[in-house]
Structures are given as structure tokens and as C-alpha cells.
Amino acid sequence: MKILICIPFERSAPKGNSVAARRLAAGFEQKRNAVAILDYPAVADAAAVAAVVREFRPDVALVMHAWRCAAALRAIKCADVPVVASLRGTDANEMLDDPATRDELAAALSASDAIVVFHERFKERLAAMDAQWGAKTLVIANGVELPRSNMDYRQRLAIPAPAFVFATVAGLREVKRPLWPVPLLAQLRERHPAVFWVHVGPPIEADLARQMQALVAQHPWIRHVDGVPHEEMDSFLRAADVAVAASRSEGMPHAVREAMLAERALLLSDIEGHRVEAEPEREALFFGNEAEFLQQATRLIETPALRERLGDAARRRVTADLQRHDEIAAYLVLFRSLVEREGTQRTSRTGPASNEAG
């Protein structure tokens, strides 16, 4: 089977869609399928997409982020290739409610042959909005890989040995609210001067990138790097005491799941995308406002046993999830069903092939 994967960013980018595309491509290829990844900027050019489809001749296409890749989805459908739209996060959480994006995203979902979401809550929401969307939606949990590594990131980032490190992995864009914890961590430092904050994430929105530069210049307890190689992410996460995610909206975030595999204590914003990942007080602590953040962060600083318990439970939960759900197999079963259906429909349109010699 030949599978085309469309992503809205460059395939090498340290972003969830790109990481997922690389992981899925490797899994599909391991099962002896041919895979091509169509990334930015070609994915936004309908003519470029059509050219790739003509050359590669895919049996099926997986389109990640149906709104950002809407042009690609339309071009692929014009070539009569079955399309699976994968809703990754903000497209499902926010864009279907935003008048600026709702109509184009709805059209993309209606045009797709199948929709994949990360959990039942997304499927229920789609079904409530459009029964046809719900009927063709399949739940496939997001996979995750975290290769073990042994790099000293505290030394690499010049973090003093006694520091208590909060770490955030997120692109510098508003939906991730990457800078939201900074003034609160500054307050914590008044009682706990060993607190440091380390951020990893590329400069996506210029204003936030400028603010980050200013914070690093102003505060010696802040570190920022644009990216960490995936094969070293385990070492980076284990250099922290607590992993913080303050996102306004998420689907099934890679960064949180990677932190769970690294056995880090989690401090998460109280949103649906985080609630499906961890249970409060069992695998993570949650905050809904500034006061709750300060309270929960203080607990984590002052209670090593709590950090250890949360981290251990988080690792065990993700490990168990990965053992129960075979992401690659689920996608391949879906793809084969669509390819078979397309073949049947094509035969019904053109009639059975003649057995006579030409």
C-alpha cells in the first residue's frame, strides 16, 4: 500500500504533527508500505500537491490538521484518493467554533472519507455537530516514542546543581501559553530561590519570541533553547524536577506524554486535552488559575515523595496505554478498508473489466 501523509509544517520541525508524521511513516514502512510525506510549503500549494499525487500515486492519504492542510485535502480528493482527516488539537478544540475557520474546516471534514481523533470525547463532539461526521470517525490514541539517552542537560545549560527545575516543551505560540508560568515562578523564587525555569520550543510567533529573549536577558534563572534533538529529549526531561504545560488547548500532546515516559512529575493546565492524559493527584497536579498554580507548584517543590509518586504513576499509565493500543495497526486496518471500498466503488462506476484479450 502507498500512503501519503500531509503535515502543515516542515517534516523536520520539532512540532507534534511533524514528530507524529515521522513516527507513523517509520511504522508504516516497517509493515512494508511505501510512504511519502508532503510538508510545508508544498502542502499549501494545490498544484504542488496534485503533482506529488500524480507521481507517487498513493492508495490513501492521511491529512494532519484538516484546516491547515485543507488545500491539500481538496487536491487529493480531486484525484479520487481516499482521505483520512486527523484532528490533532486546536482544529477540534477551537477551530470548529471560530467563524474565521469553521466553514473551511467543516467542508474538509465533510469531504474526507474518514476522521481520526484521539479520544471518545472528540468523537462525541463531532457526532453532536454532524451525524455523518460521527459515523465516519474512529478513535486512535496518539502514540509516543522516547528513546533512552544519557546526556547531562543541567551541565549543558549551565544550571547549578542545587537548582529546582521546572521545564516546558512547547512552541512559542499563544495557544501553548508558554510564558504564562514565568511571573508565578518569579513569586515562588521569593520563598524558594533555587527555582529555575527551562523552556524548549521554536520561535513560531514573533511577539512571543521577542518576549522570551527579553526574559532570558532579564532573569538569570531562565534558560531557553529552540529545540532538543528527539534522541536527547529523554535526557532533557530527566534534567527537570517538574514538567509544566500551561496550554489553552491540546489534543493528545506529545510533550506531556514524553514527560510521563521520562517519569517527571506533571503540573498541567486544567483542560480537556490534559485531563484525558492524567488523573488529578494520581499522575499529575492540575491548575485552573494563578493561585492554584502557586499552591500546586509549592507542593511539588516541598514534597519529593509526591514528585516521585506522580512520575512513577505517569510512566506506568503511558506504558500501559501503549501496550493496549497499536496505533500503526489501527491506521493500517482503516486504510485497507478505505482502499477496498474505493476499489469497489470504482468498479461499480466503470463496470467489470473485460476478460477478452485486447
pLDDT in tens, 201-239: 988 899 999 999 999 999 999 999 998 988 899 999 999
**Higher-scoring residue by pLDDT: 350, 137:** 137
Is residue 202 a part of any domain in this protein? yes
Q: DSSP for 294-332?
A: HHHHHHHHH-HHHHHHHHHHHHHHHHHHHHH--HHHHHH
d(CA 100, CA 105) in angstroms, rounded, equals 10
Higher pLDDT, 1 or 356: 1
Q: Report pLDDT digits (tens) over 265-321.
A: 999 999 988 988 899 999 999 999 999 999 999 999 999 999 999 999 999 999 998
Choose the most confident range, by mean pLDDT, from 14-23, 70-79, 342-351: 70-79
Distances in Å between the Cα of 133 and the Cα atoms of 23, 110, 121, 187 are 26, 7, 14, 47
Strands 242-245 and 164-169: parallel
Assess whether 343 and 214 both reside in one domain: no
The whole-number pLDDT of residue 57 equals 96
Q: Phi, psi at residue 197, to the nearest 5°?
A: -130, 130
Percent of the chain with pLDDT over 70: 94
CA atoms within 13 Å, Cβ hemisphere of 182: 20
Same-domain pairing of 133 and 192: no
> Which pTM value belongs to this model?
0.74
**Shared domain check, 86 and 177:** no
Q: Which domain holds residue 166?
A: 153-322
Residue type, 210: R
Clarify whether residues 136 and 69 are in a common domain: yes
47, 129, 211, 212, 268 from 173: Cα distances, Å: 29, 28, 11, 11, 17
76 confidence band (pLDDT: 50, 70, 90)? very high
Do 85 and 220 fall into the same domain? Answer: no
7 and 128 in a common domain:
yes
The verdict on 127 and 221 lying in the same domain is: no
CATH code for the domain in which residue 228 is found: 3.40.50.2000
Residue 176 and residue 67 in one domain: no
Q: Same domain, yes or no, for 195 and 230?
A: yes
Q: What is the pLDDT of residues 140-165, one digit of tens each?
A: 988 887 888 999 999 999 999 899 99
Q: Which of 123-127, 296-300, 320-324 has the lowest mean pLDDT?
A: 320-324
Residue 350 pLDDT:
59
pLDDT at 102 over 90: no
pLDDT tops 80 at residue 173: yes
Planar angle of CA 10, 141, 139, nearest 5 degrees: 110
Q: How far apart are CA 315 and CA 302, in angstroms?
A: 22
Residues 81 and 193 in one domain: no
Q: Residues 23-44: what's their mean pLDDT? A: 94
Same domain for 28 and 137? Answer: yes
Total domain count for the chain? 2
Are 259 and 188 in the same domain? yes
Residue 148 lies in a domain: no
Residue 107 lies in a domain: yes
- Residue 9 falls within a domain, yes or no? yes
